[in-house]
Structure 1
Amino acid sequence: MRLFRPISTAIFCALALTACGKSNTPAPVLNYGTHAKDSAGIHVVQKGDTVHSIANRYKVSMRALINKNDLSAPYIINLYERLILPPPNTYTVRRGDSLYTISRAFGVDMSRLSRTNNLRAPYKIYPGDVLRIPDGGEMNTTGNTRVASTPVSKATPKPSAASKPVPKSVQVAPPPSNGPFAWPVRGKVLSSYGPKADGLHNDGINIAARKGEPVKAAQNGVVAYVGDQIQGFGNLILLRHEDRYMSAYGHLDKISVTKGQVVQKGQAIGQAGMTGNVDTPQLHFEIRRGTKALNPQKYL
């Protein structure tokens, strides 16, 4: 059972937050990593952009960029379209970095990152080290990708308000139910919150459960994410609650809610399972405020 489960990337995407760090590339980008220089993010298409030029600019695999955004040949992109960026192929370690912070920045499993780079406990890295980032799609095997040297053109005027698409309404999380967060399932805590051996960290708790057992919403909220795209979690649900709280439910066998759906505390949202990087039925459960992971057992 892997104890480190980074879901910060999904939390950022669900909340549409900007990152603390800024990208050093000239392209307009909304970063949702932490402080990593070339972290994954969202690129807003500008005049003259192509899939090839964007992939080169961010040093990512063009195939991964295409797959991440479900693009089809001839890969036409539109002005001001928002493209999700996959993790870069490599990252150069900076002062203050650790394997833990880098894994969180790119939303990859720490143990996978260490294995990809042949690192062993205590996972020492040094400024200037170049790490390969796993799960970034097809790796570029033809050498270092050069950043496009074409001068940045003058900013194209943004479309008028009349031509902008009407944004979809966003469901507001309902007021919280009386009392604290409720246990989503009842069972033995297999792994508690906090640091583990060999530098690993659990941002939530893992609760033993029977396969198919109903998993219930811990508090009133709105479904912010459903899917299996976060490495290691299997089928995952994120709920957004009032006052910037979020809760996460991983390793589900089945999901019974949809994104944007309003749910009530105690409502069944899925069934426990063993999808993702676990070998016994269980639920990975997290509570966060913003993107900060909290110890769930202090809130249940």
Structure 2
Amino acid sequence: MKCLQGAGAWLCAAVALALAGCGTSPTNRAPVEDRRAAAPQPAVVVPVVKPAAGFENAGRSGYYTVKPGDTLIRIGLENGQSPKDIARWNSLDNPNKIEVGQVLRVMPPVANEAVAVATVKPVASSSVVSTPIAPAAPASAASAPARASSAPSMPAAAAAPSTGDDDLGWIWPTRGPVLDSFDEVKNKGVDIGGVAGEPIFAAADGKVVYAGSGLRNYGNLIILKHNNTYLTAYAHNQTLMVKEDQTVKKGQKIAEMGSSDADRVKLHFELRRLGKAVDPLKYLPPR
């Protein structure tokens, strides 16, 4: 474009600048609003944590909190109780299903305590447990021989009066040598050697509260409850000769020695006082 001279020069320049501005793209654009509806976000679901059964009794005397790896058999052994009793006290529909953190009653309810004592404590002869009603000594002395004579086949040791739960007259459960002695951490009993099929005897009168192979590292196992204080366990058997809830006498054959869940033929024998493993050699008679 040819511009005029003089006064019209400024008008020419202004027109040129205007035309140049029209050909240039704007550097700043107006914001664009996205009017599309936002996608709904999924709701956050907070899981409701259900407290373990019996949590209100945690830490109380007579109760036990289940730990990983526990079974009702082990809990019974560690607390000196029958697995069946624990299942009954806690109304367990499936004794094989317990949960970590669950709190179980491991002592009998107060109302049933007398019944529990009567069912597991060995019953002595009537001549032993009878108490004279009258204070007259001659009457009770005269009546004792008459009652005792009615059971001549009972061994004298079985008719001896009991002075408490500790007076059980323990015997060795088998005749072999001691292979491994008691250790509170490594060996909660004694290991006794022998040959496969050798008889295993009840170390005292009692009741079979477990007979089976449900406890890991024990193989074919028998647990006897002798009274409210003592349990004995007989592990690694080849054959079990008794059943649960059966009453046995001291010296009765209850199993045959074997190597189930063990590295050799042996009897692993445990003696538990109030659930705690103690050294059986301190209770068994010297050889």
TM-score, length-normalised on structure 2?
Answer: 0.48
Structure label with greater radius of gyration: 2
Structure with more of its chain in helix, by fraction: 2
